[in-house]
Amino acid sequence: MDKRESWNLDAGHVAVVENLAGEEGHPGETVATSGSALRVITTWQGAEELRAAWQAMQDHPNADFDFYRTVIESREEVVSPYVLAVEREGVVEAMLLGRLERIPLEFRIGYKKVARVKARVITIITGGCLGTSSRENDQQFVNALLESLRHGEADAVQLHTIRVEGTLCALAGAAPGIFGRDYFPEKRIHRRLVFSPELRQKYVSLAEGGDRHFRALRKEHADLRVEVYRDLASVPRVCREAEEIAVKGYQRGLGAGFANDAEHQRLLEVMARAGRLRAYFLYFDGAPRAYWIGEGYRETFYPAYTGFDAEHGKHSPGTYLFLKMAEDLSEFARLDLGLGDAPYKQRFSNQSWEEASLFIFAASPKGRLLHLLRTCTGAISHAAERLLQRSGLLQRVKTSWKSRLRRDPPKGLGVVVQIATCTLSTLMSWHE
């Protein structure tokens, strides 16, 4: 193995980086520091070497080795895996999972996209922190990310949904240089439901008539029924019927949520082959009206995609299906409700914590541009959100924006006009 170069990974420690060149000429790296070794893996050959340790530590469906590989192999924009592993005495102690990709970074004010710049990004995935969490391990992770930026491997690092109280978030948020750090990380509440026999019975009672919306739903639609799909053969139907609903939803206007494409089909197939797929659909009037699609993983059920037909939203078909799903998930101890503070999440969750998504920017012209866009849009969004929170209008404005996104999204100056119009109309209706 050839020495590639040396750099200072931690105060008082000089790391030696050795070239472990793998497939397609991408280098892997091993860094020794403070009695431990940090490996930087950018090839499938290197990832396979860690597979046994990886699978022993994986505790989130996004971090599942097969799921992770399917995502990367399904996306043309992905350049390579990007995995950091801390080894101590030859044993893998912690891992940080990501990917190196060429993607358009979108900058938004609220739900509205105002800029789009193509960049080379190291994306750390949701659920990608595996193994022992410690300040020393997290410091090695952040130092390795900074070195990748310094060597021009990426224009930015994007860390998705890491716990705010953790040291990784604190260290990444304190990236050196005023143009390197993210001053407006996106902080969101992550909610979870921990089941108990009493809660399960409560949900059965609500769905069967304890809520006026659900009573009306059952009364108006005699053909109301719920179906659950789990096997591989049902995946095409799940994709087709979810698309019928998703195409009309606000998430499609954001470029998020479910889409009936090759990537989503392959991901559902991975879930089905592993016996983890659960796709819940609510039908009435001869058509699918709501869906919850997810997978069970180590005593927790993780919904991945959800949607409902907004034309029938007055009786909350999505929430009705949620309760029927919760009733059915008897073998799981928890139901992960994910990020966001939607009313149904506040209503049904009994655990919560704060997570943040944030960037670290390279000291390059592209990195400076990305930092400028992030800071400007973040400052405007942050100020507007605080103002709306204080006035009690935040949820009403969000609802109005989502309603508009179900129609064709505006372009160019229409973005600014629609933001102003939506907010102004909400303020006027509140004043009246």
Express as a percent the part of the chain with pLDDT over 70.
80
Is the pLDDT at 184 greater than 70? The verdict is yes
Is the pLDDT at 342 greater than 70? The verdict is yes
Of 9-23, 270-284, 342-356, where does the model show the most confidence?
270-284
Structure tokens at 114: 């105002």
Q: What is the pLDDT of residues 375-396, one digit of tens each?
A: 999 999 888 877 777 776 555 6
pLDDT of residue 217: 85
Mean pLDDT over all residues of the chain? 83
Give the CA angle between residues 145, 182, 368 to the nearest 5°.
80
Residue 10's φ and ψ, nearest 5 degrees, are: -150, 160
3-state secondary structure of 71: helix
Does 196-332 match 2-189 at the fold level? Answer: yes
Segment 252-256 long-range contacts (CB within 8 Å, at least 24 positions apart): 252/405, 253/111, 253/405, 253/406, 253/407, 253/409, 254/111, 254/405, 255/106
Express as a percent the part of the chain with pLDDT over 90.
61
Q: What is the pLDDT of residues 200-217, one digit of tens each?
A: 888 888 777 667 778 888
The hierarchical CATH code for the domain 196-332 is 3.40.630.30
Q: What is the pLDDT of residues 219-273, one digit of tens each?
A: 888 899 999 999 999 999 999 999 999 988 766 665 667 899 999 999 999 999 9
For tokens 């999505």, what's the residue?
A: 318
Q: What is the pLDDT of residues 107-131, one digit of tens each?
A: 988 777 889 999 999 999 999 999 9
pLDDT of residue 367: 96
Contacts of 210 (CB under 8 A, 6+ apart): none
Sequence ranges of the domains in the chain: 2-189, 196-332, 392-426
pTM of the model: 0.80
E strands present in 270-411: 277-284, 287-297, 300-308, 334-339, 351-361
**Considering all CA atoms of the chain, what is the largest pairwise distance in Å, rounded to the nearest integer?**
74
Residue 25's region, left for phi above 0, alpha for psi from -120 to 50, else beta, is left
Is the pLDDT at 98 greater than 70? The verdict is yes
Do 401 and 422 touch, CB atoms closer than 8 A? yes
CATH class, 2-189 region:
alpha beta
Is the pLDDT at 349 greater than 50? The verdict is yes
User: 10 Å Cβ neighbour count for 160?
Assistant: 18
Poorest-pLDDT segment among 13-22, 29-38, 62-71: 13-22
3-state secondary structure of 331: coil
